[in-house]
Structure 1
Amino acid sequence: MSDREAFYSKLKVQLEDTTKFPSKYLYKFIVPTDANQEEEVKKVFNGGGAVIETKKSKTGKYISISIFLIIKSADEVIAYYKKADVIKGIISL
């Protein structure tokens, strides 16, 4: 099992123990501004009625992205993380 798979397995257990679904969930990411990463993140979440807030770093090299979304299950939380994982330079918080 890879580190990522282990992380997602542990996250699923924690979510199922602590969260009553459907629930409002907060995703937080940091992406570099050197390409189109902000738009890529928005594309991942836009279909589900997400509320997206962005904030540039002081140096302008990074953008913090907060996404509020109604989620139906722990599996759905993880599915969004997996879609976002492929974006170049993304950091999940």
Structure 2
Amino acid sequence: MKDPKDVEAFYKRLRDELEESTSWPSPYLYKFIVPTDADKVAAIEKNFDNTGAVIQKKTSSGGKYTSVSIEVNMASPEAVIEKYKAISTIEGVISL
């Protein structure tokens, strides 16, 4: 587990960068890598149900991992971070 202080510092820095670089609402591209497991991929997708998200999946050449790219319009930096936090509860997911 990561130190909660480090995690909060990361999200604060991300929020600041998103506020400075983007006018909101705006499209945002999420990228995740997850061990190839239909349940885990479905759990990621479920977090974006009814959002109009465009989801692309690609399995690695060895079949061990799946990359999931999700482009969706987000209302604010806080909304972006809320999704990252929700996805972080899925075991084995790496956010890029």
**Structure 2 Cα separation of the partners of residues 67 and 89 of structure 1:** 18
One-letter amino acid of the structure 1 residue matched with residue 70 of structure 2: I
Q: CA deviation at 1:47?
A: 2.3
Gaps of at least 5 residues in structure 2 are none
- Match of 1:52, SS state, is strand
Consecutive aligned runs of 4 or more in structure 1 exceeding 4 Å deviation: none
TM-score between the two structures when normalised by the length of structure 2: 0.92
Out of 51-60 and 34-43, give the one that drifted further.
Answer: 34-43
1:15 aligned residue (11, 18, 31)? 18
Q: CA deviation at 1:63?
A: 0.3
Match of 2:42 in 1: 39
Match of 2:86 in 1: 83
Match of 1:25 in 2: 28
Q: CA deviation at 1:2?
A: 1.6
Q: Number of residue pairs matched?
A: 93
Q: CA deviation at 1:8?
A: 0.3
- Among the aligned pairs, what percent are the same residue? 49
**How much is the aligned-residue C-alpha RMSD, in angstroms?**
1.1
One-letter amino acid of the structure 1 residue matched with residue 28 of structure 2: Y
Out of 12-21 and 33-42, give the one that drifted further.
Answer: 33-42
TM-score between the two structures when normalised by the length of structure 1: 0.95
